[in-house]
Amino acid sequence: MSHKVVSIVLGGGRGTRLYPLTDQRSKPAVPIAGKYRLVDIPISNCLNSGYNKIFVLTQYNSASLNKHIKNTYNFSVFSKGFIDILAAEQTNEGDRWFEGTADAVRRTQKNLVNVDYDYVLILSGDQLYQMDYAAMVDFHVKNGGEITIGTIPVEGKEATGFGILKSNENGDVTSFIEKPSADLLPDWTSEVPENLARQGRNFLASMGIYVFSKGVLSRLLAENPGMDFGKEIIPEAIGKSKVLSYPFDSYWTDIGTIASFFEANISLTDNIPLFNLFGEPVFTRPRMLPPSKVSGSTLNNALLADGCIILSDKVEQSVIGVRSRIGRGTVIKRTYMMGSDYYEDLSTVVEKTNSQQPPPIGVGERCYIENAILDKNCRIGNDVRIVGGVHLGDEDSEHYTICDGIVVVKKNAVIPNGTVIGR
């Protein structure tokens, strides 16, 4: 059954744990899989679920996110669908930045007045998963929910970073705690299917995905001045409203840290990846780019986006983004290369290759790069060695950052000939 749903994608966080990838862009605008942005994931899930009334709430470093959404999602004039950007703004009611997920929705809900809807779907803009939201809304309606929380079983070591809940046999949420300390976890285990229990995934975590019935959301936000859904609004609603747990047991990951972002991208190169790029479409900005050209290179478990020129010796277990250039004799392993925003003409590439002042955009000749993220438009010279690993301590310099053993070359960075980073 089709229901009238309006979706709200939260895209305004600072994303400090993803620095330096969020130094010049918001977290939902960070490129993923070589050709998409993180915000494309929830939007694509909405469109694939049949929901095309979408608001995206933005705040920090929002210029590239706004530009991407504007250039990507355009509906026919005969469609009732829209994707509107709602930025934090000064009004007669206040001039503050958004101060939490609930605060952001509270201060923008006036924009829902002219939208025909019965249910509000609230989504995070920085998660990687594929989900049929229509099934979740159907569950919400069928079970008479006022609030439904998408939940996923997690291990104890992960549970301290999520909102953890317990539910009864009918799926009613009976208790909720936001990011419990390790000593509290024994009291928060839940019954889960046997295969998940064997994996130690016996804690029900909130995915930050919510369905609210019309009127319930505005009532809760009016009654509770809390700034965050997980910390304040949801816990206070339990026992006063019918709160349901909607179980989800497919692939889902929260892109919160450099390590989780790196592994999410590298896992896409697996023979059978947990996140399937070849199923339901992931929508993104269409680019009029030529096919990628590969010459003399061995590719093994590699994702190659459009418009690349690859002359390397080997690319293994790596994601190579749009317009990437890799020189002869170079080996790249377990690396996410985001690519570039534009091409340099051939004469410029030849001139800079010969002078190396600075090197051309891309990776030069005879380089070795492993366990690294190369942000957009970086210039890496010849004979450069970049090798990350758990043995490396965290470090931040002008052109690169080391975090959790992963070397992140910053956007527009220049790495001269012969530079060695790592071992």
Please give the average pLDDT of every successive group of 10 residues along the chain, which has 423 residues. Answer: 88 80 89 94 96 89 86 84 81 68 85 89 92 96 95 89 87 89 87 79 91 92 87 89 92 90 96 91 93 96 97 97 97 98 83 76 96 97 95 93 96 95 85
| Per-residue model confidence (pLDDT) at position 89 | 67
Evaluate whether residue 62 is within a structural domain.
Answer: yes
Say whether both 42 and 113 belong to one domain: yes
Written as six digits, the tokens of 339 are 């690519």
Q: Yes or no: say if 319 and 264 are a contact pair by the CB < 8 Å rule.
A: no
Query: The tokens 């997690």 sit on which residue?
Result: 154
Evaluate whether residue 341 is within a structural domain.
Answer: yes
| Per-residue model confidence (pLDDT) at position 336 | 98
Which of 269, 285, 308 marks a domain boundary? 269
Evaluate whether residue 343 is within a structural domain.
Answer: yes
| Per-residue model confidence (pLDDT) at position 90 | 65
Say whether both 197 and 75 belong to one domain: yes
Tell me how crowded residue 325 is: count the other CB atoms within 10 A of its CB: 23
Written as six digits, the tokens of 196 are 């998940």
What are the backbone angles phi and psi of residue 395, rounded to the nearest 5°? Answer: -155, 145
Say whether both 245 and 115 belong to one domain: yes
Peptide bond into 358 cis (omega under 30): yes
What's the full length of the chain, in residues?
Answer: 423
Evaluate whether residue 388 is within a structural domain.
Answer: yes
| Per-residue model confidence (pLDDT) at position 157 | 86
Distance CA 154, CA 7 (A): 26
Say whether both 143 and 78 belong to one domain: yes
- Picking from 135, 121, 147, the residue whose alpha carbon sits closest to that of residue 43 is 121
Q: Yes or no: say if 253 and 127 are a contact pair by the CB < 8 Å rule.
A: yes
Say whether both 250 and 302 belong to one domain: no
Number of domains in the chain: 2
| Per-residue model confidence (pLDDT) at position 107 | 83
Say whether both 254 and 301 belong to one domain: no
Question: What's this model's pTM, rounded to 2 decimal places?
Answer: 0.93
Q: List C-alpha distances in Å: 412 to 84, 124, 364.
A: 30, 28, 15
Which of 235, 269, 303 marks a domain boundary? 269
- Picking from 401, 407, 411, 403, the residue whose alpha carbon sits closest to that of residue 385 is 407
Its domain, for residue 128, covers 5-269
Say whether both 212 and 298 belong to one domain: no
Say whether both 76 and 186 belong to one domain: yes
Say whether both 119 and 14 belong to one domain: yes
Q: List C-alpha distances in Å: 306 to 154, 291, 294.
A: 36, 5, 11
Strands 36-37 and 368-374: unpaired
Q: Yes or no: say if 201 and 155 are a contact pair by the CB < 8 Å rule.
A: yes
Peptide bond into 28 cis (omega under 30): no
Say whether both 31 and 123 belong to one domain: yes
Evaluate whether residue 278 is within a structural domain.
Answer: no
Q: List C-alpha distances in Å: 280 to 44, 321, 341, 368.
A: 9, 21, 26, 35
Distance CA 293, CA 386 (A): 24
Look up the CATH number of the domain holding residue 300: 2.160.10.10
- Picking from 267, 244, 380, the residue whose alpha carbon sits closest to that of residue 318 is 267
Evaluate whether residue 253 is within a structural domain.
Answer: yes
Written as six digits, the tokens of 37 are 């942005």
| Per-residue model confidence (pLDDT) at position 322 | 97
Could you give the angle at which helices 101-108 and 216-223 cross, rounded to 10 degrees?
A: 110
Q: Yes or no: say if 371 and 421 are a contact pair by the CB < 8 Å rule.
A: no
Say whether both 222 and 345 belong to one domain: no
Say whether both 327 and 417 belong to one domain: yes
Evaluate whether residue 327 is within a structural domain.
Answer: yes
Distance CA 183, CA 297 (A): 52
Evaluate whether residue 245 is within a structural domain.
Answer: yes
| Amino acid letter for position 421 | I
Question: At 321, is the secondary structure helix, strand, or coil?
Answer: coil
Look up the CATH number of the domain holding residue 30: 3.90.550.10
| Per-residue model confidence (pLDDT) at position 102 | 86
